Amino acid sequence: MASTTLDRPPGPIPADLPGRAALHAEGVTKAYRGQQVLHDVTLTVAQGEIFGLLGANGAGKTTAVEIAQGIRSRDGGRVRLLGLDPATDRSRLRHLVGAQLQSSALPDRLRVGEALRLFARLAGDVVDWRTLRDDWSLGHLERRPFAALSGGERQRLFLALALVNQPRIVFLDELTQGLDVAARRETWDHVERVRDAGTTVVLVTHFMDEAERLCDRVGVLHRGRIVATGRPAELVASTGGAVRVGFTVTDPAVLTGIDRVPGVVAVGSSDRRRGWEIACAPTAVVPVVAALAARDLNPDDLTVARPSLEDAFVALTRGEDR
């Protein structure tokens, strides 16, 4: 087992990050019963951003954020949360950090209003519980017991409870797990409100569409290792693959020579009946469409499918497997 290193200062913050770091972890390791769960994890979260920690189930995401909060010990490496070590400064961090954990739950009979009052009192009444109730549209649920809440209502309550101490950074672990489409989108709006109010958000998720919608930057954790960090658009551009322009055409011969358009990677038939697909670089989409128009092709079913963060995630994790 690696020795714990607590006395060295954290390494430098990458120069391209806005502001000071809210969280900096360097070389963090963790093993359970001899099985390594985290391998030399290094990442930095800037103040005022939504940072997504992405990974499949079992990648080590929850362990990483629990170590960052001081809930779980680390075997090696160093962590600074708001400039403090969460392993030794938990009492000082208690009033600066908020969290909604993956296993969050409340007693079935506890009413929404009672939960807000209780958590606000435990946090020292930093925030009036009635303000939280109104800010998170919980007024009509005030007398409803926890067991009677829908998934979206529970998540809204958990978000409010995570903010009772006006934290400078909040950790949200699998926030939208099990929610329907409407509830997920409502929850996303609330997370953006938290960030816009000045709180740094660390979002743990395996939903790529969620990360692409919400996160300013992401880190991809695969089998306990950080394999990539950056803005979602940067990861997509570097690893997500080609843009695909699809359409139907009655006479494929008219496409002869379109593969010579700069940026075109491949031209071939698709799975659709009489469907064709042109794979190209993002900058080649307009020239490709112009080349189609020059051939008097104006298909009414033309689609442009750009690579997504999910495509980039698959490419990164498969590459790591190889």
Q: What average pLDDT values come out for the chain (322 residues) when binned by 10 residues?
A: 34 48 95 94 95 93 94 95 93 90 82 95 90 90 94 87 92 85 87 92 93 96 95 88 90 93 92 82 94 93 92 84 46
DSSP per residue over 28-89, as a string?
EEEEETTEEEEEEEEEEEETT-EEEEE--TTSSHHHHHHHHHTSS--SEEEEEETTB-TTT-
DSSP per residue over 194-211, as a string?
HHHTT-EEEEEES-HHHH
Q: What pLDDT, on the 0 to 100 scale, is given for residue 15?
A: 46
Domain with CATH 3.40.50.300 in the chain: 21-237
Global confidence as pTM: 0.81
Q: What pLDDT, on the 0 to 100 scale, is given for residue 137?
A: 86
> What topology does CATH give the domain 242-306?
Alpha-Beta Plaits (3.30.70)
Q: What pLDDT, on the 0 to 100 scale, is given for residue 254?
A: 93
Q: What pLDDT, on the 0 to 100 scale, is given for residue 63?
A: 94
- Provide CATH code, domain 21-237: 3.40.50.300
Burial string for 44-73 (b: 16+ CB within 10 Å, else e) reads: bbbbbbbbbbbbeeebbbbbbbbbbbbeee
- Scan for tokens 């030399």, then name that residue: 40
150, 180 in Cβ contact below 8 A? no
Q: What pLDDT, on the 0 to 100 scale, is given for residue 285?
A: 95
Q: What pLDDT, on the 0 to 100 scale, is given for residue 273?
A: 67
244, 206 in Cβ contact below 8 A? no
Q: What distance in Å separates the CA atoms of residue 90 and residue 85, rounded to the nearest whole number?
A: 8
For residue 25, count other CB atoms closer than 10 A to its CB: 27
State residue 129 phi and psi, 5-degree precision.
Answer: -60, -30
Q: What pLDDT, on the 0 to 100 scale, is given for residue 176?
A: 84
Domain with CATH 3.30.70.980 in the chain: 242-306
How far does the chain reach from its first CA to its final CA, in angstroms?
27
User: What letter would DSSP give residue 272?
Assistant: S
Q: What pLDDT, on the 0 to 100 scale, is given for residue 170?
A: 95
Q: What distance in Å separates the CA atoms of residue 20 and residue 166, rounded to the nearest whole number?
A: 19
Return the closest-CA partner of residue 24 out of 39, 16, 13: 13
For residue 204, count other CB atoms closer than 10 A to its CB: 24
Q: Nearest-5° angle of CA 34, CA 37, CA 40? A: 110
Overall size of the chain counted in residues: 322
Q: What pLDDT, on the 0 to 100 scale, is given for residue 102?
A: 64
Q: What pLDDT, on the 0 to 100 scale, is given for residue 312?
A: 92
Side chain identity at residue 197, one-letter code: A
Q: Nearest-5° angle of CA 136, CA 141, CA 145? A: 125
Q: Which two tokens stand for residue 273?
A: 């009946």
Q: What distance in Å separates the CA atoms of residue 155 and residue 180, rounded to the nearest whole number?
A: 12
